[in-house]
Structure 1
Amino acid sequence: MAARRPWLANRPAWWLLFLAQLAPLGYLAWAVPTHQLGYEPVVDSLRFLGDTALYLLLIGLAVTPIQRLWPRLGLIDYRRMVGLYAFVYASLHLLLWLVVDRQLDLAAIWEDVVEREHITFGVIAFLLLVPLAITSTRGWMRRLGRRWKQLHRLVYPAAALVVLHYFLSVKFDTRTPLVLAGVLLLLFLARPVTRWLVAMRRRPD
């Protein structure tokens, strides 16, 4: 008897998720000219791209504990795509700041990185994400072996730094970054808790 496939392990679901993660770019292309985000296109776009990257990063972190509890969902097949999309949006966020906001003025960029804490933490977070994106392929998984998992644990400090970057960049209303910090903390705790729950399920009666 053939093994049953996970519920979401099919090409239509893959393409649906792929296109859904492109939707924020389509929305941004419509929202900026029509001032739906606000009347400062660069600032508004920076915030939107950064928010999207962070949300996708948190979704990617949620996949493993959910998959442990409900393996039939087959969510693990989509974790890499979500993580790569998070990196794409983070890259667009960084490029917009470098090219449009700072106009590739290296002196101004360096001054920001050194003197503005939220930019310092944001750049460090991005640098931590770079090797994760590069080594996300199955080929790199084979080459690195056990070291692949160790390397990809960098996603946790990277996510924490992104939340800190967000918190420090907000001048007035810090409720959203605080909520996201709480979500991230829950995701950190979910990993050992779900591992324990799965171990308890497997224990003989």
Structure 2
Amino acid sequence: MKALLHPAAKPVVFALCLLPFCWLVFGAFADRLGANPAEHLIRATGDWTLRFLCIVLAVTPLRVLAGWPALARLRRPLGLFAYFYAVLHLLCYAWFDMGFEVPDIAADIAKRPFILAGFAALALLTLLAATSSNRAVKALGGRRWQALHRLVYAAAGLALLHFFWMRAGKNDFAEVAAYAAIVGALWLWRLWRRFSPAAASRRASAPARPRARG
């Protein structure tokens, strides 16, 4: 799609990715977040983290299947927005649930496995965000950088586990199943592409190169 190469493509994507944040801020100031605004903010930021992780994982399949190579230039901003909403999720939890009391947060991590899974997912996303620049690609080399950034699948799995354990107490798994189906389908596509005979042929015929991160 030529539109993806237009100079305005990235600013438009940036603005669209900020819309959920702007809506939550507006809702908080306008008192439109329901009877428990703090819980709404914690859940909404977590939901948007999962949604952006699904979008990021879908970039490569869409790029390949639809023949839209220009989608690759949007992977980094989308990934950074996934991290942005994950950090917001942490801040909402640390502020509204724990009052920024670090000892209480540490005790909560040790006591509740779903909190530990969420922190582990955030730690992986922090590593990926810190190494998302072109400079990091050059410093690590193409193969190592690509191997490192496959950890996004592990981060998505941990985020799903976090969500599953959180909903297990209420025996409410409908949304968990929807996200799991999306992430599972994207994992299976990646595995199929990586281990299919066509993939082996491609690896044998082409040297690995760092991917441009526009």
Q: TM-score, normalised by structure 1?
A: 0.88
Give the share of equivalent positions with the same residue, in percent: 37
| Number of corresponding residues | 197
Question: Residues 6 and 197 from structure 1, CA distance in 2 versus in 1: closer, same or farther, beyond 3 angstroms?
Answer: farther
What residue number does 2:105 align with?
109
| Distance in 2 of aligned mates of 1:27 and 1:185 | 29
- Residue in structure 1 matched with residue 114 of structure 2 by the alignment: 118
Contact 2:62 2:68 in 1 (8 A): no
Contact 1:125/1:158 (8 A) holds in 2: yes
Alpha-carbon deviation of 1:178?
Answer: 1.4
Closer/same/farther in 2, CA of residues 37 and 173 from structure 1, 3 Å limit? farther
For 1:67, the aligned partner's letter is: R
**Secondary structure, aligned partner of 1:59:** helix
Structure 1 residue runs of 4 or more that deviate by more than 6 Å after TM superposition: none
In structure 2, the residue matched to 1:148 is 145
1:154-185 CA-partner distances (Å, limit 9, x unpaired): 11111001011111112242100111011110
1:188 alignment partner, SS class? helix
Q: State the match for 2:21 in structure 1.
A: 25
1:126-179 residue CA offsets vs partner (Å, 9 max, x unmatched): 111111000000110011012111111111111001011111112242100111
Distance across 2 between alignment mates of 1:10 and 1:43: 39
Q: Is the 8 A contact 1:53 1:89 kept in 2?
A: yes
Q: How does 1:1-20 map to 2 (within 5 A)?
A: 6-20=2-16
What does residue range 150-165 of structure 1 map to in structure 2 within 5 Å? 150-165=147-162
* 1:95 equivalent in alignment to 2:91: yes
Alpha carbons 1:6, 1:71 under 8 Å: kept: no
* 1:8 partner SS: helix
Is there any run of 5+ residues in structure 2 with no aligned partner, and where? 203-214
The 1-side partners of 2:173 and 2:199 are apart by: 38
Counterpart AA for 1:144: L
TM-score, structure 2 length as denominator?
0.85
SS at match of 1:103: coil
Taking the TM superposition and a 5 Å limit, the aligned residue runs for 1:58-73 are: 58-72=54-68
